Amino acid sequence: MRDYCERLHRDPESLSEAQRSPVAGPLERLADHPFIVGFMNEFLANPDLSSQQCYGFRMESTSLCVRAAYRVNALNRRRPEWRPGSPRILKHSASSHP
């Protein structure tokens, strides 16, 4: 998954057009992960739209956020942005609108 994210970020042209999305390729498994779906159902789902055949929410947009190892703060000091082994987070927004 990490290699796919790096490739999507650095060389998207090397992927087919259908694969140039943070919810394509190996990352597709995250969109339907039981933990994620459970969370979305708990906090965003519209009960009138939920069924065994349909989630009660929709994913409206996704983005891939790849951060540098360090960032410079207002005082020109380098601060660690993330530590090796820390997860990089894919940001998703969702809605319960039909």
Q: Where do we find the tokens 């020109």? A: 76
Residues across the chain: 98
| SS3 category, 63 | strand
- The mean of the pLDDT values for the chain is 76
pLDDT for position 19 = 92
User: Which residue type sits at 38?
Assistant: G
pLDDT (tens digit per residue) in 29-66: 888 888 888 888 888 888 888 888 888 888 777 888 87
pLDDT for position 54 = 84
CA distance readout (Å), 29 to 32, 35, 62, 63, 68: 6, 11, 14, 16, 25
Better-scored residue on pLDDT, 48 or 75: 48
List, in order, residues 6 or more apart from 87 with CB less than 8 Å away.
none
CA angle 14, 36, 86 (to 5 degrees): 65
